[in-house]
Structure 1
Amino acid sequence: MPLALALLCGVFGAVGVLAAKPLNEASISELEERRDSIRAELEQLAVLTLRTGAMGTSGYRSFPQEKPEIEGEWLRVDFDEEAIDEVVLVPTLWRYDDEVGYLSDGFPEAFRVVAGLPGEDEGTVVAVYDSSNNLLPRVAPVVVPLGGMVASWIRIEPTLLTRRRRDLRYIFQLSEILVFSGEKNIALHQKVTCASDVPLSDGIWKPDRVTDGGMPYLMDSSRGSERSAHFQESSEDPSLTLDLEEEYLISTIHLHGAYQSKSAPPEFNVNRGIPSLLIVEGANQADFSDSTLLLKHQFRSIGEFAPILMWNIPPTECRYVRISSGSFDEKMANTSSYQGSEQIGFAEVEFFSGGTNIAFEKGPPEGSGITGESRKSLAKLTDGHNIYGFILPIRSWMNQLARRHDLEVELALVNPRLDELYGRQKASLLLLKRLTIALVCLVAATILIGRHLRLRQAARIKERFTADLHDHVGASLHAIGILSSHTKDIVDSPDKLAMALGEIEAMTHRASEATRYLCSQHMAKEAHENLLADLRRTAGRMIANLSYTFTVEGESYLQQLSPRVRSDFFLFFKECLINVNRHADATEVTILIEADSREVHLSICDNGCGIEERAEGTVPPSLARRARYLRSTVKIETPPDGGSCISLVLRNRRRWFPKLL
């Protein structure tokens, strides 16, 4: 029901007990702290237990209206002039549906509270409530603090009515009005007047019903142990007598009904233990020889009974009190058609002096003859407990019910906000979890890819180093090997042997220079800082015995190549000349280099017999390998007039980012 109340009140309702910080600005920790504090306080407050399953008076009901706005409707309670601390308005309740349950019915959405002194008709407006106070919907009473102002009457003036659930017509209804001066309800059984007389036949809706003490609640303080036992005496003249142990000035009597039960339906009638004629006497002598009548009340119908029967009486000093059903003659004089219980029994009896229950833990007089189990049972009449637990002062009870309403409404707003924030937090944690998993996977993938790249790079370095050794030193070592084998055949010819050894020495010197050159190129910050000069120098050394032409167009673009590309281009160029010099048997060589911002074209043509006897277009493996390093296209063709022509197309790729591989 609290959640339904919150939904009806609206998420942005101005609840009086809400923390100063708006809910939509509070953090999770602040909301959790507020929720826990509300729950802790709720555990200490009286519970809203409704009085169902028993007949009783309902209160006051006005004439139905067709529109909510109303003027001239009022309900007034007159009493002795007192300092008023607060006024409590108890709503009439109606069962709406299974989800919402009981809610106030006909309680005004806007109203004024007016108070005045004798002779004042207008009075003073002491409290104004409207829709901004968000009093509705509710089940609990509304507490109107007045701060001790002196008055002899109060008037409730509705200005905006609500619909009655039964027929959806606008109406003004109240179950009870309580006016507290200290702990005393000074409006109890006082005169009530209204703006218009509403004739009703059933008697449960009358103006004076709002001060009879009957309310739609059962006192359930949520504290103390349950005590369902009560005292009953069955005889011709049943009575209950208590010794207050000293004289007190008694001004208020509360009798808690013995019919209350936790079974459904209730085990007992609402009038259980209450005679139709109730008499309460006080005395200072144990034999009641000086008895004074404190209360004499004739019940006219079963509808007059309530869970707590309350009366204010003229202050009377006495030590002994006796509750009885009257003498035989008094019973015979009863003209009421209602016949009460033949027994007397209550869950608790309270006699108040100055706001204090002086009957608490008091028992029967000495010499009454009540002993043993009967005395123990009688003691439960004054143990301060009812069937639900500890009995509260009426004012405290009303205040706790009102406070519970405010806290439950606030809690019903805090919990959805917390659920919303928990949902966001859960989504954030889920996202963080997914990002963490993705990050772990990314790190693992990075490690694996990095390892793979390092292995691949190592393999490429190994392959490139092998190729560089082959291109720089391989030919010289191959020639040294051939010459070394040849010396075995000319060992008997000193001249030829000396010539062969000289060539071996020259080849060894050349291989040594090639090795130093290779090392210097790998150690240098910039390989082939002047590529064209290196190309010309290599051509002049390797094909010096041939007739050749060396043509270059776009020389400036050559040096824009990256160091690695320059090195690979140089080795490709050198390998081409080695193949021409070694295998082509050519006499003329034409070298053409054309470079621009996008491509570099290399063409080396000779007039020899071609490169070995292989299928046309087949590129030697050493050239194909270098072309692959350059990511270039290489082809070999045989011109119509013979010889061979090697062509390389190298794209000049601009490097915006460092190369990873």
Structure 2
Amino acid sequence: MPAYLANTVFSALMAVASLHGQPHLPLSELSITELEDSLGDIDARLDQLAHFRLQAGVGSNGYRSALHLVHLESHHTEWFEVQLSELQSIDQVILVPHLVMDNEAGLVSDGFPIELQIIAGTQEHPEGELIAQTKPKDGKQHIAPFIFPTPGLKASWIRIEAIELSARSWDGHYNFQLAEILIFQGDTNLALTSEVTTSSQSIGYDSSRDERYLVDGFMPYVMNAAIGAQSRAFAVDNLADDFTPELMIDLGEIYTLEQIHLHRLELGNNIPLSKSFDHGTPHRILIEGATLKDFSDRSLLLDLIFENSYQTGPIIMRNLEGDACRFVRLSIIEPFFDTLLPEPTTVFGFAEIELFSDQTNVAYQKIPTANFRNTKPNRSLENLTDGHNFYGKILPIREWLEQLTERYELEVKRPLIRAELDKRYTQQTIMLRRMGWLAMLLTTGIVVIVLVDRIIRLRQIAQIRERFAADLHDDLGASLHAIGLLGDIALASTQAPDRLNTALTRSRELTKRMSATVRHGTNLQSIGRLESLEKDMQRIAERILVKISYEISTTGSDPLNKLKPRLKMDLLLFVKECLANIVKHSDANKVKIDIIASPNTVEIIVHDNGRGLPSNGTQRIPPSLKRRARIMNASISISHSTEFATIIHLIRKRSLLTFWK
């Protein structure tokens, strides 16, 4: 690869890829916050970018290649080549598409290739090298300029090659067409009025298309910046016929002038236009420069002659030879005549005059002087160099076109983000609605669960109280019966003091026992007391096993404490029944109680060394113990050992469908 392209090709290809189809992060992968931030950033940026405004009236249409009638010819290569005056440093190439109004699609680009490449070269390397290749992703919908960065490129010619042609919107024929080619070095358009060669000639006569119009500086857009105040163009009419109207600008010091821009009068907002497209633009302008105010050392900068309607446009741009000037004079040799008025009259005016030296407008705010009287006070000479046009601030051409491209890309992206956000908002609304119904369902479920739990607890409390009542009834009934018998004995023993004293003593013990039983039953109904099963069993054993040695051991305190109060009461009453039977029937002097709890089972094992039960088999199990085991859905068995005559073993397993009961 030639050295003059070594630093250019890769960076240019990467830049083009990023501008024309490089995939970004899918919108579906962005969060709502990121999408909202992106939309806000786009809106804020759009407020700062130039607006699309199309040129009205008659104007040049660039150039188009020969037609190709069938699809098989769409791969026929067509090219436009711009010859620069010398080897130049180039940092950007801009292609402006030809625009048409389609019957169905509206404003579209026409004749822009499906695939194109840009080749640059020098006189020493006529074969050139590829610096950019792209397939525009949006086809005819792309109405903005196409920008191709070329940092570090040095070339003396640029060729735009259409590899695959697109079909014209109105007849389906294939050709290659552009409105303008711009080649920038900084803010200077090197391609302006350069020599252009093409691969083919367009068939038929159309004076609005010519190779020269590819580099005449005229584009289908009108500069409409988003910033800056409106300024009405300078204009005069009824100029006298007996002298040459002149404008003179004093730049304040000597500058080397490189370029001049003349901004045409605004044509108004009427639809259709009420003025001709070249209103106020002279047919011939002589532009001279000098270092002395009397122009005694003048030099000719430009002799602008507009032979037809296609040689003028919104901004008349010309490169200069680099003459050193302080004073610049514009002489109106052939003024414009407005023939649409009842009496044709001369009209002259411009929106802005820009003179560039070292890419800076040195005429900015340098108020011109004129050798004629201003007939329109609201269109003063100050407006000629105030840096504004009818729509706002006048931007450098390169910046203006870059803003149009950026606006187009953001306006394409914005609806996609808006649609994705609307989709997300809809999903959120549906989700919130579902969550609302779910919250209502959960609230209803919680209320039902609380009510059911409350009812269950009330039933448990009622059942526990019934069992306490039955237990108290049994204990108190037996004690009262015993007191009655002891009373009979006492009545019959009035003559036997010792026997009477014994009966009264036993009666007193029974009344104390009855009182303790009542207090214990009342205390057991406290939920706080029910939570300590081991202590409750200790109290029962202490009360019942009078003069009998006993031992209580517990394994698994945590699972035991997690048992439901009802199950605790059932286990407590079971142990109490066992101890009562031991006292009444076994004559035992030693009792051992083992409590074993695990997450899935609870076991109660009661040992005594009394007489034991009279026979083997299930009929040995006392009916009262079988009944209490059945209430708890527990299994019960009886065995013995060398140390203990009777071992009662109760096992209660956890239900698979419910919690501990």
- Which residue matches 2:159? 155
Q: Deviations over 1:234-266 (max 9, x none)?
A: 213473402224443333221111134344344
CA contact (8 A) 1:275 1:341 kept: no
Query: Which of the numbers 53, 66, 86 marks the counterpart of 2:92?
Result: 86
- Which residue matches 1:251? 258
* CA 510–492 in structure 1, closer or farther in 2 if over 3 Å, else same: closer
| Separation in 2, partners of 1:241, 1:595 | 135
- Which residue matches 1:128? 133
- Cα distance, 1:377 vs. partner? 0.8
* CA 492–505 in structure 1, closer or farther in 2 if over 3 Å, else same: closer
| Separation in 2, partners of 1:101, 1:505 | 119
Matches of residues 218-237 of structure 1 in structure 2 within 5 Å? 218-237=222-241
Instruction: Give the aligned CA root-mean-square deviation in angstroms.
Output: 5.0
- Which residue matches 2:283? 276
Q: Which moved more, 1:55-64 or 1:501-510?
A: 501-510
Contiguous gaps of at least 5 residues in structure 1: 1-12, 332-339, 542-560, 567-590, 604-623, 633-651
| Separation in 2, partners of 1:530, 1:465 | 12
* CA 232–504 in structure 1, closer or farther in 2 if over 3 Å, else same: farther
Matches of residues 158-197 of structure 1 in structure 2 within 5 Å? 158-197=162-201
- Which residue matches 1:608? none
CA contact (8 A) 1:90 1:141 kept: yes
* CA 341–359 in structure 1, closer or farther in 2 if over 3 Å, else same: farther
- Cα distance, 1:109 vs. partner? 2.3
* CA 376–630 in structure 1, closer or farther in 2 if over 3 Å, else same: closer
Q: Percent identity?
A: 34
Matches of residues 441-452 of structure 1 in structure 2 within 5 Å? 447-452=450-455
| Separation in 2, partners of 1:343, 1:372 | 10
CA contact (8 A) 2:76 2:165 kept: no
| Separation in 2, partners of 1:270, 1:145 | 34
Give SS of 1:74's match: strand
CA contact (8 A) 2:193 2:216 kept: yes
| Separation in 2, partners of 1:454, 1:429 | 36
- Cα distance, 1:151 vs. partner? 2.7
- Cα distance, 1:345 vs. partner? 0.9
Query: Which of the numbers 274, 294, 315 marks the counterpart of 2:322?
Result: 315
Amino acid aligned to 2:464: I
- Which residue matches 2:474? 471
Give SS of 1:474's match: helix
1:655 aligns with 2:654: yes
Q: Which moved more, 1:277-286 or 1:307-316?
A: 277-286
- Cα distance, 1:153 vs. partner? 2.1
1:460 aligns with 2:460: no
**TM-score, with length taken from structure 1:** 0.68
Give SS of 1:352's match: strand
- Which residue matches 1:641? none
- Which residue matches 2:217? 213
- Cα distance, 1:386 vs. partner? 0.6
- Cα distance, 1:174 vs. partner? 0.7
Query: Which of the numbers 109, 113, 121 marks the counterpart of 1:116?
Result: 121
Q: Deviations over 1:336-375 (max 9, x none)?
A: xxxx982111111222233222221122349x57689749
Amino acid aligned to 2:95: L
* CA 280–364 in structure 1, closer or farther in 2 if over 3 Å, else same: same
| Separation in 2, partners of 1:532, 1:474 | 18
Q: Which moved more, 1:191-200 or 1:521-530?
A: 521-530
| Separation in 2, partners of 1:430, 1:15 | 42
- Which residue matches 1:55? 58
| Separation in 1, partners of 2:154, 2:632 | 107
CA contact (8 A) 1:241 1:320 kept: no
Give SS of 1:91's match: strand
Amino acid aligned to 1:397: W
CA contact (8 A) 1:241 1:322 kept: yes
Give SS of 2:78's match: coil
- Which residue matches 2:248? 242
| Separation in 2, partners of 1:171, 1:457 | 93
- Which residue matches 2:101? 95
- Cα distance, 1:389 vs. partner? 0.7
- Cα distance, 1:204 vs. partner? 1.7
| Separation in 2, partners of 1:361, 1:289 | 25
- Which residue matches 2:393? 390
Give SS of 2:323's match: strand
- Cα distance, 1:219 vs. partner? 0.8
Give SS of 1:218's match: coil
Give SS of 1:258's match: coil
CA contact (8 A) 1:82 1:181 kept: no
1:143 aligns with 2:147: yes
* CA 509–200 in structure 1, closer or farther in 2 if over 3 Å, else same: same
1:347 aligns with 2:346: no
- Cα distance, 1:295 vs. partner? 3.0
CA contact (8 A) 1:91 1:176 kept: yes
Contiguous gaps of at least 5 residues in structure 2: 1-16, 338-343, 521-535, 542-551, 553-570, 588-600, 607-614, 635-650
| Separation in 2, partners of 1:163, 1:223 | 38
Query: Which of the numbers 82, 105, 121 marks the counterpart of 1:77?
Result: 82
Amino acid aligned to 1:359: A
CA contact (8 A) 1:107 1:172 kept: yes
Amino acid aligned to 2:319: N
* CA 492–129 in structure 1, closer or farther in 2 if over 3 Å, else same: closer
Give SS of 2:229's match: coil
Amino acid aligned to 1:241: L
* CA 517–71 in structure 1, closer or farther in 2 if over 3 Å, else same: same
| Separation in 2, partners of 1:26, 1:114 | 38
Amino acid aligned to 1:307: P
Amino acid aligned to 2:127: E
- Cα distance, 1:89 vs. partner? 0.4
* CA 361–463 in structure 1, closer or farther in 2 if over 3 Å, else same: same
* Count of aligned pairs: 553
| Separation in 2, partners of 1:272, 1:86 | 33
Query: Which of the numbers 100, 110, 117 marks the counterpart of 1:105?
Result: 110
Query: Which of the numbers 365, 383, 396 marks the counterpart of 1:361?
Result: 365
Give SS of 2:320's match: strand
Q: Deviations over 1:145-166 (max 9, x none)?
A: 2334333322111102222222
| Separation in 1, partners of 2:268, 2:456 | 84
